[in-house]
Amino acid sequence: MRPAVTVALFALVWLAVSGSFTIPNLLLGLAAGALSLWLIRGHIRPDGRRFRPLKVLSLAVLFIKELALSAWKVAVLVASPKMALKPGIFAFPLTVDRDFEITLLANLITLTPGTLSVDVSEDRKVLYVHALDCSDPAGARRDIANGFERKIMEAFR
């Protein structure tokens, strides 16, 4: 994203959080956004990332749906008198390679029912995922690769 777009986005968030939609407040939001972007200027690299709003929206919908589903699953598991647990950590080979995409994938995995991302290997090729039910690691790997990873590739490539 271009810096101007990012600053405009920050200003919108500022308006939402501060709750007063006035011109001076908008200017203040723009200034705060520009300042915060300037403060971290050394840490962001511009990259030719494509950005498809509709796909991002569908990703956001998926995010909310999965969060609700996973909270429900955990709640049911905890409420059942005899918890059927077989936890473990399995390795998931990553296809996405940019920091931003790995972060997004890791966040999405954490919100999926019964899985929680623990670590990324130093060469950024493997994501370690903790699962509440780790009796079928191969199936879990397939689900993630066909679900979230493909969605992310569709939205940002």
Partner 1 sequence: MLDIVLALIVAVMLVSGGIFVFLAALGIVRLPDVYTRMHAASKAGTVGSGLMLFAAGIHALDIAIFMRAFAGFVFFVLTAPVAAHLLARAAHKAGYRLARVSAVDEMRDAERRDAKKR
Name the site residues for partner 1 (rule: CB under 8 A). Answer: 13, 15-21, 63, 67-68, 70-71, 74-75, 77-79, 83, 85-91, 106-107, 110-111, 114, 116-119, 121, 126, 128, 130, 132, 134-135, 137
Comparison of 48 and 82: residue with beta carbon closer to partner 1? 82
Of the CA atoms within 13 Å of residue 59, those in its CB half-sphere come to: 21
- As a whole number of angstroms, the distance between CA 122 and CA 119 comes to 9
Least distance CB 48 / partner 1 (angstroms): 25
Helices and strands counted in the chain (H then E): 6, 3
> Does residue 33 sit in helix, strand or coil?
helix
How far apart, in whole angstroms, are the C-alpha atoms of residue 112 and residue 66?
Answer: 6
* Percent helix / strand / coil, the chain, rounded to 5: 60, 15, 25
Closer to partner 1 by Cβ: residue 21 or 42: 21
Helix pair 3-18, 23-39: axis angle to 10 deg: 130
Residue closer to partner 1 (CB basis): 46 or 74: 74
Closest distance of CB 120 from partner 1, Å: 9
CB 49 to partner 1: min, Å: 19
Shortest separation between residue 151's beta carbon and partner 1, angstroms: 16
Task: Kindly tell me which of 106 and 155 has the beta carbon lying closer to partner 1.
Answer: 106
